[in-house]
Structure 1
Amino acid sequence: MLTDYERKVLRILFNYSSGRRRLPTIHELTVKTGKGEPDVMAALDALIAMKYIHWENKSDISTLVILEGWERDSEKPVIPKINSSSPAQSNDLRYWTDY
């Protein structure tokens, strides 16, 4: 599962590549994320380890390849669903008139 910061870096990479037809520089990543270069590099290393990106020549960010632009569904946290029979979820007006 990606951390919020890793997810943010991945989305910035994807959005730059699709919108601007280029990848952001390390400096642009530091500006967009508000973190320093070591944090950006750590996030990129984590994305490499989890196979979201491929980046052999780490001296040139333009050689980075995005393998997946979104977090995998199997890794997303499961959000519990509210019971559909609860008064707050039903469209029944009894909730507002009986309580």
Structure 2
Amino acid sequence: MLQDIERKVLRIIFNYSLIRRQPPTIDVLCVKTGRDRGGVMTVLEVLAREKYIEWNRSNPEHMVVIEGWERKDEVRWRGR
């Protein structure tokens, strides 16, 4: 399950890429999220590790969305 900031960054990358046909830069993500560069890079690492995006810290401006939405959990709570 993604944290709020991770979900937000994923949606920004997805929508930005869809509209502009290129991924946002790290600077654009910093402005849109209000986070510093280190914070954005950490979020991108989580998204890459969880296989939502293809991204590598050595080439930070290159990112590809694999899944644009958070995955649904397989096991759901069935409370009353």
One fold, TM greater than 0.5? yes
Cα distance in structure 1, aligned partners of 2:41 and 2:60: 13
Report runs of 4+ in structure 1 exceeding 2 Å deviation: 56-60
CA displacement at 1:28 relative to structure 2 = 0.4
Count, aligned residues: 78
Residue 73 (structure 1) aligns with: 72
Gaps of 5+ in 2: none
Q: Higher RCO, 1 or 2 (CA under 8 Å, sep at least 6)?
A: 2
1:19 aligns with 2:12: no
- Report the TM-score, using the length of structure 2 for normalisation: 0.85
- Cα RMSD between the aligned structures? 2.0
The 1:60/1:42 distance shift into structure 2, 3 A limit, reads closer
Larger Rg: 1
- Report the TM-score, using the length of structure 1 for normalisation: 0.70
Gaps of 5+ in 1: 84-99
Cα distance in structure 1, aligned partners of 2:15 and 2:38: 22
